[in-house]
Structure 1
Amino acid sequence: MKRIELTPAWFSQCPRYLSVKGFCLAAGLINRQKHIETLIDQGVLPSRRIGRYLMVDMHRLMLMLPSHDRKDAFAD
């Protein structure tokens, strides 16, 4: 499956929330759905429960990604 680069442009075309399965499909991780669910349970991936559905919060995920405009915190 083709790897998707998670750029701000990609996020702007993405819905605010994706189901876990939808996130796995979009990210090319369909065989890793249990791992993604574990990351959500651990609080590593931002999520929100909407009714009975567990959704990945794509806006919060985008804000967590490093920005190319900011200096790297580990740079000398």
Structure 2
Amino acid sequence: MLTTKLRKQGSSVVVTIPASEAKNLDMNVEYIVRTDKNGNISLIPKLDNPFKKAEPGEYYEKDVWADMKPAGKEVW
């Protein structure tokens, strides 16, 4: 098991990941950093907005419930 320490660099905190452990990480990707209540740190690859290049109406779905009438005690 490898260990590391946090260190302060300017107004940031740095954690060094040994290259042998980072071989599956893409150095050209921006990551979202998340820490949980137990102090676990997760690096989540930041994805581009999938709707950025979408054509108008590309993600539209027809309202299949529009013609349905109430059948019981639903509030209409």
* TM-score, normalised by the number of residues in structure 1: 0.24
Higher-strand-fraction structure: 2
* TM-score, normalised by the number of residues in structure 2: 0.24
Q: Which has the higher contact order (CA 8 A, sep 6+)?
A: 1
